[in-house]
Structure 1
Amino acid sequence: MTESIDRPVSVIGMGNMGSAVARTLLDRGHPTTVWNRTADKAEALADAGASIASSAAKAVAASPVTILSLLDNTAMEDVLDAVGDSAAGRTLVSLTSGSPAQARANGSWASGHGAAYVDGKVMGDPPDVGTPRVSLAFSGDRDTYASVEPVLRELGSVAYHGEDPGFAAVEFNAQVAVGYEFLIGFLHTLDLVETEGMDLEAFSERVAGSLSGYAGLVRMMATAIKSRSYGPDLGSLDVQAALMDDLIEHRESAGVESVRMREVKSLMDRRVAQGHGDQGFSSLYELFRLRA
């Protein structure tokens, strides 16, 4: 990280995350210029040594690299419109939430204004910025990313996902979605466990202990999908489909929601009907590929 010390950086957006980013850069010795639409939020960084820009355009002009940490892509578009030609010759790094399509549009805007662009997404909490507890996903032009990587590493653990500016958003959205998909299923399962009179904390402790076992499974499933070679990972689908009947009956007899279990059972039945009952759970992916 020593090669990036004293490298000037601007930060636009002084919400919780943007302020944490600016303070971290200041603590690491970077001359830091900040700007926020609401001026008092930016001025709060002055005591920490930040220079306060009077406009977004002047903030971008003040440093070779500008990090944008804004509420959403609407705010991002407003800032880019205000920056305009001041972006020419500068590198813009976005840490703003948004879709892959929005990231690609921002990249096109930057290119059209003579600027380089790297899109980024943050997984972590503002108090942890500057530590390995924060993970940052980046994508965009490889050479541009390499040039700013030493600065970005000051903020947490970083990973580069390719030249398509949208890939960081794909990574972020997919990682978050996995968490929500798991957790909503877990909440419904806790409803079942509590309804049956078992101890929630003891059950949750057992679940926590078994999670590491899924690491090998998810890797194996990705390999199977990529090769289109589906072994009986969790067991053959014809056996799993019979188990699903028991799971559904258990939930419904206890008055617990079973929509997701019925969806899984329906997918299994379709795959078995296609003559693939000897394959495993990962083969259900073939049904998702059949988009109109």
Structure 2
Amino acid sequence: MSTTPEPVTVIGLGNLGRALAETFLRNGHPTTVWNRSPAKAEALVARGATPAATAAEAIAAGELVLVALLDPAAAREVLAGAAEAIRGRVLVNLTSGGPKDARELADWAAEHEAQYLHGAVYAVPQTIGTIESSVNYSGSAEAHRRWQTQLGLLGKGTFLGTDAGRASGYDVAILAGMYGMLGGFLHATAMAQAAGVSATELTPMLVSWLTDSFPALSTFAKEIDNGDYSTEESNLVMNQAGLATIIQASQAQGVPAVTLNPVKELIDQQVAAGHGAASLARVVESLRSEP
């Protein structure tokens, strides 16, 4: 069996795309690159990458094609314009999007006789190709097995199953949690500063408290999956009162409670429906999609 590194293609040369291409070049893979703005390829070409005049030309250059574009609409547009080159290729789409986007593109790829993997990257671009990078994949199991070694150059890879939307399902949920945390942090620092406490002073104590609180998430997760929200500890009525106090204090300090009010409204809904004695986790019921 030949050990010659196989050619790969990278479509899209934003921060992520450039990092992908640099990683493959660093590991000896002939790498073809394409971007709508050709100037973005110049530094990679200087390192040995091959520029392509069109996306179709880039896709034709290698069986493994990584796509890292701005959004799902851009990915669909670029690939649709290169449809004649897709047949027989493996598309690894690392463009951020939702599960519906991934499933639709997987169906499109299958119609054009290509295999599809969706990937969700958990790394900043400068850590791609190091132990600090990880990527979740879902979609074609055959494609993942075939290219696992090459994809492993990008970081620790985890295959989540053949539903192309599963990696995105994890991804957007994780990112929603991250932004919720950041919103809470920003609100906390605004309140602290209004009370004469600097953000730098507050943060170590806040991080310590959050770290000690993390085990509660696993307890909440079990309650949510089991649909059993009974508790003898902090129930919704207690949280309703506590959050009302925090909101009042925030507003009294001149800090609008725009990040807290939506949570309070969800708690109020559940208490009004007669679930005041239930665990805080029951708030998820107000977020579920209508059947």
Asked if Structure 1 and Structure 2 have the same fold, meaning a TM-score greater than 0.5 normalized by the shorter chain, the answer is yes
Q: CA deviation at 1:154?
A: 0.7
Structure 1 residues 57-66 or 263-272, which shifts more? 263-272
Cα distance in 2 for partners of 1:111, 1:19 equals 27
Q: Residue 260 of structure 2 aligns to a residue in which SS?
A: helix
Structure 1 residues 212-221 or 268-277, which shifts more? 268-277
Equivalent residue, structure 2, for 1:92: 91
Q: CA deviation at 1:21?
A: 0.7
TM-score norm. by structure 1 comes to: 0.89
Equivalent residue, structure 2, for 1:204: 203
Q: Report if aligned partners of 2:189, 2:198 keep a CA contact under 8 Å in 1.
A: no
Structure 1 letter corresponding to 2:207: A
Runs of 4+ in 1 over 4 A off after TM superposition: none
In the superposition, relative to structure 1, how do residues 242 and 154 fare at CA in structure 2: closer, same or farther (>3 Å)?
same
Bigger helix share: 1
Cα distance in 2 for partners of 1:252, 1:22 equals 49
Q: Residue 66 of structure 2 aligns to a residue in which SS?
A: strand
Q: CA deviation at 1:118?
A: 0.7
1:241-260 deviations in whole A, cap 9, x for unaligned?
23233223222222221244
Q: What is the number of equivalent residue pairs in this alignment? A: 290
Q: 1:119-130 counterparts in 2 under 5 A?
A: 119-130=118-129
Q: CA deviation at 1:110?
A: 0.8
Cα distance in 2 for partners of 1:254, 1:72 equals 40
Cα distance in 1 for partners of 2:233, 2:12 equals 47
1:172-230 deviations in whole A, cap 9, x for unaligned?
22222212111122212222111112233221111112232233111111111000111
1:91-110 deviations in whole A, cap 9, x for unaligned?
11111223322222211111
Q: Report if aligned partners of 1:232, 1:281 keep a CA contact under 8 Å in 2.
A: no
Cα distance in 2 for partners of 1:274, 1:72 equals 39
Equivalent residue, structure 1, for 2:57: 58
Equivalent residue, structure 2, for 1:190: 189
1:156 is the counterpart of 2:148 = no
Cα distance in 1 for partners of 2:33, 2:94 equals 15
Q: Residue 214 of structure 2 aligns to a residue in which SS?
A: helix
TM-score norm. by structure 2 comes to: 0.89
Q: Residue 157 of structure 2 aligns to a residue in which SS?
A: strand
In the superposition, relative to structure 1, how do residues 232 and 5 fare at CA in structure 2: closer, same or farther (>3 Å)?
farther
In the superposition, relative to structure 1, how do residues 131 and 255 fare at CA in structure 2: closer, same or farther (>3 Å)?
same
Q: Unaligned stretches of 5+ in structure 2?
A: none
Structure 2 letter corresponding to 1:104: R
Identity %: 35
Q: CA deviation at 1:4?
A: 7.8
Equivalent residue, structure 2, for 1:112: 111
Structure 2 letter corresponding to 1:157: K
Structure 2 letter corresponding to 1:141: S
Q: Residue 237 of structure 2 aligns to a residue in which SS?
A: helix
CA RMSD of aligned residues (A): 2.3
Equivalent residue, structure 2, for 1:22: 21
Q: Report if aligned partners of 1:237, 1:279 keep a CA contact under 8 Å in 2.
A: yes
Cα distance in 2 for partners of 1:131, 1:147 equals 21
